[in-house]
A and B are shown apart, each in its own frame.
Chain A
């Protein structure tokens, strides 16, 4: 589906991201709340990883760190062989826009914009021309099965359809990594299955997928399952297929 010229350090089966001794703490009233402790994690290009764990174990926090939305308190994080910690806000924004696609549990579509316009947002910030971005947005909408809903606003769509828009949007700039935080958490099982199928297809096309989930089905589809418990990686499982 998507032909990507892989930049340096992102070849298939090499470490696309690596975390060493990563910690994240919040300070509430002077008291340290250690949300992530000593995370060591390497993910290779094209891998399909599920992150599981009880509520409050730090899954979302970890995903935000991976997506450069947040900065770690301690430790090192290399993305494509480059340390992220030294980058400034503009450079992090650039990475988010170019290399990362986010899919959220509650879709996070902009209510005033229609399907195509929502999908166009990431391209707008990368300076893609109006024509090119409109064309690509329509392609992506068709791809996720919303070819006949392009002018609809988010509130005119079902949850499953909204989540498909959000996936299409995540794909807009042809990112290397797709991060999804409980993408099926707000959906019924049929809609959830649609989303799973799309994720599977993306994996088949060589995307690196990192999905936070409680969904056993996703876990069985993924190649690796990381179990978080109380901010630590408690267990890693590899699925053989």
Chain B
């Protein structure tokens, strides 16, 4: 009985919606756009957030990264810049971290320079990382072929290097890079290993601040990186160079280390250790020539930001659905008053109030449900297009689909009920007389 009724109710609803095709479509559009914008916005938001979280996670959640930054110019010399500007992290800092901070698992001091590299007739601008053998422990970089740098390499300042896949792509189209020599700044380095690429976020900031000297830097990690023993870099590249960003062409600068990465044993120790690092740094650095980056902290900030973002998106979406709902209610009120006589006729012929409520409510629900379904399609299509053509990551979650569809249905019921009740409660005689 119920099924049979339901089928006819739906039929009746579709029929009268079909009779006012244009009006029905326009009304449903409100819901379609509401639902699809909810889904699309949440998908874009979610994609951005995951991307950020992953990037930060690649920087290492147990790491505290201290970077050298060029200090703001002080005018104590009366506008005349020093000929040699000395700043940044030092080996002494690394020792202090090693000896003065409990909970430290490993410390990695790094040089990071941007240099031209040559292999046969090829030339590329790549990042030279002067580092220690345990660098892979604190990063995402993994050796794929050959080996990483060893303690011996470090100790004897060997002219060896490990290149990452970015460099391989750029410079070794067909040759096997292992065992080849690559030339940087007049010296040759024997390639002993090939590694994966480093996470973009771990370098970009410090690099931009420090390495204005080099040629225009390619975006992020795609520049490719070459790992050379720290002591070798110190020896062969030195620590002084021309100051690139100065008006004085002869100004020099001296930097010992571009970066020190401290990794603690346990994730709960991160914030405490950050404090200790900060204290040590402020004690020994008068100039503001360093920056402390804590990926864990960034991750929490990203999460907080994501929560706010979701709330804002949710509110915008809720408002757009509300507007859609008001549109539907408006149309249904008009429909009811336009069909007053029909309601009177149906009541005189035996329709109960409930029948009238069901009739009008089912029309509203048909509108919102079909609007919801189309909205889901459109809402999935938009993020798809954004990912395909916009090179932006999007993630459609089931929750967002359920949420959007649920809200649109609820809107249908809430805004459809009042017009339907109003239709049902009209006096049959008066509505019959209505022309």
Contacts and interface: CB of A to CB of B under 8 A. Distances in A.
Interface in B1-38: 1, 4-5, 8, 15-16, 19
B349 interface: yes
A98 interface: yes
Most buried by B among A90, A94, A98, A124: A124
B353 interface: yes
Contact of B350 (A89, A93, A130): A93
B432 interface: yes
A90 B354 contact: yes
A110 B19 CA distance: 13
A219 to B, nearest CB: 25
Contacts of A67: 348
Contacts of B147: none
A126 B353 contact: no
A122 B350 contact: yes
Interface in A106-145: 108-110, 112, 121-122, 124-127, 129-130
Interface residues of B, number: 24
A108 B355 contact: no
Nearest to B344: A108
B346 interface: yes
A121 B349 contact: yes
Given A121-B345, A124-B8, A130-B8, A96 B429 contact: no
Contacts of A96: 347-350
Contacts of A126: 350
Nearest to B346: A121
B429 A125 contact: no
A69 B346 contact: no
Main DSSP-derived SS at the B contact region = helix
Interface in A81-103: 89-90, 93-94, 96-98, 102
Given A69-B429, A110-B342, A112-B16, A125 B350 contact: yes
B48 to A, nearest CB: 50
Contact of B5 (A94, A109, A127): A127
A104 B433 CA distance: 10
Contacts of B346: 121, 125
A35 to B, nearest CB: 12
Contact of A93 (B4, B341, B347): B347
Given A64-B429, A108-B341, A90 B8 contact: no
B136 interface: no
Contacts of B428: 69
A173 interface: yes
B352 interface: yes
B348 A110 contact: no
A149 to B, nearest CB: 20
A9 B6 CA distance: 35
A70 interface: yes
B398 to A, nearest CB: 38
B349 A102 contact: yes
Contacts of B352: 89-90, 93-94, 125
Contacts of B348: 67, 69, 96, 102, 108
A224 interface: no
B351 interface: yes
Contacts of A164: none
A112 B342 CA distance: 10
Nearest to B12: A124
Interface in B282-318: none
Given A108-B432, A130-B8, A125 B342 contact: no
Contacts of A207: none
B349 A125 contact: yes
B426 to A, nearest CB: 12
A169 interface: yes
Given A104-B432, A121-B346, 14 more contacts: A67-B348, A89-B353, A93-B350, A93-B352, A94-B350, A96-B348, A108-B344, A108-B345, A108-B432, A112-B19, A124-B8, A125-B346, A125-B351, A127-B5
User: Which 6 residue pairs spanning A and B have beta carbons closest together?
Assistant: A97-B350, A125-B350, A93-B352, A122-B349, A90-B352, A125-B351
Interface of B: 1, 4-5, 8, 15-16, 19, 341-342, 344-355, 428-429, 432
9 contacts: A69-B428, A70-B429, A96-B347, A96-B349, A102-B349, A121-B346, A125-B351, A125-B352, A126-B350
